[in-house]
Amino acid sequence: MRIAALALASVLSAQAGTYYVTVAGLGGEPEYETRFTGLATDIDKLLKSSSGATRVETLSGPNATKARFTEVVSNMAKSMTAQDALVVMLIGHGTFDNIDYKFNVVGPDISANDLSDLLDRVPGQQMVSIMTSASGGAVPLLKKDGRAVITATKSGTEKNAVAFSRYWAEALRDPAADADKNEIVSALEAYRYAADKTARFYETSKHIATEHAQIIDTSKGDPVRDPSPANGQGLLASRFALLRLGAVQKAAGTPEKQALLQKKESIEQEIAKLKYQKAAMNPDEYRRKLADLLLQLSRTQTELEK
């Protein structure tokens, strides 16, 4: 029993942690100040209610400055390892002068170059969701292997205030965002949910869409609106568990279930990876590997439900 307990403790200690930083930027007008702060506060509460968060930091109002943001991320980096993950969510207004993107905060703005330099010093994988106007202009400096980048606009020239941030926050509280019904909302699922809701918002209101969300999670190619194995985008984002729901959230509260949950998520990631490799594989080999992973997933799920 002691050997088994030590083995379990070893598994748990090796599990990756997820660190979150959400920033509500400068609104400029009372309406936007209230909206940005409200969305950041909602996300903060949702993340803290999920057992998957190692540390959650949310900056808004006079506390949302370049210096404070840099301090928070730098302090997190000191505690992180290569097995950990960082999620950065920026909500507000952005600008682009055809050279550099800037996220508007109190005092000096946070440029894409500032953000890139800071994140390059953080170990582990990263997911950055920039939910601002002109955010597409940040992509060239931010795209990198091991980093998923989501922007509310397709370029730096889409300069109107965005609706994407509203639906991103909604994705974290709406069970419908969990498309595969595994009780985990991944970054990819949140992106798909928010992008679809944003598109429908413009269609329903009969307004010309002034924002087009996109994603890139490799260092190669260009961002896409519809990530898939065909274009090679979305695999890393699918691995980021932003929020755990229902039974999965409760299961994560016990050491034994935590180990099983970690195993389940690992198998699901292997299935996702396999789907991206399908085009280059022998069909029989693909079917064999998929069947084996699905069997492992079924057995693990059965153990979780006991």
Each residue's pLDDT tens digit, 248-268: 555 555 667 667 766 766 676
Asked whether the predicted pLDDT for residue 1 surpasses 60, the reply is no
Q: What does the chain come to in residues? A: 306
What is the tens place of the pLDDT at every residue in 14-48?
A: 347 899 999 999 998 989 999 999 999 999 999 98
Domain that holds residue 195: 14-246
Q: Do both 129 and 78 map to the same domain?
A: yes
pLDDT score at 251: 53
Q: Do both 141 and 263 map to the same domain?
A: no
User: Contacts by 275-281 with C-beta closer than 8 Å and gap 24+?
Assistant: 275/229, 276/229, 276/232, 276/235, 278/229, 279/229, 279/230
pLDDT score at 226: 95
The Cα–Cα gap between 28 and 80 comes to 35
- The one-letter amino acid code at 93 reads H
Q: Do both 218 and 260 map to the same domain?
A: no
58 forms bridges with which residues in the sheet? 22
Q: Do both 163 and 260 map to the same domain?
A: no
Into how many domains does the chain fold?
2
Give a yes or no: residue 7 inside a domain.
no
Could you say which of 229, 246, 263 is where a domain stops?
Answer: 246
Q: Do both 286 and 176 map to the same domain?
A: no
Q: Do both 35 and 169 map to the same domain?
A: yes
Asked whether the predicted pLDDT for residue 106 surpasses 70, the reply is yes
Asked whether the predicted pLDDT for residue 8 surpasses 50, the reply is no
Q: Do both 292 and 150 map to the same domain?
A: no
Higher pLDDT, 49 or 277: 49
Q: Model's pTM, two decimal places?
A: 0.81
Q: Do both 166 and 37 map to the same domain?
A: yes
Give a yes or no: residue 1 inside a domain.
no
Give a yes or no: residue 6 inside a domain.
no
User: Residue 91: which CATH number?
Assistant: 3.40.50.1460
Q: Do both 168 and 279 map to the same domain?
A: no
Give a yes or no: residue 272 inside a domain.
yes
Q: Do both 128 and 273 map to the same domain?
A: no
Q: Do both 76 and 108 map to the same domain?
A: yes
Q: Do both 232 and 269 map to the same domain?
A: no
Give a yes or no: residue 54 inside a domain.
yes
What is the tens place of the pLDDT at every residue in 123-139?
A: 999 999 999 999 999 99
The Cα–Cα gap between 60 and 81 comes to 27
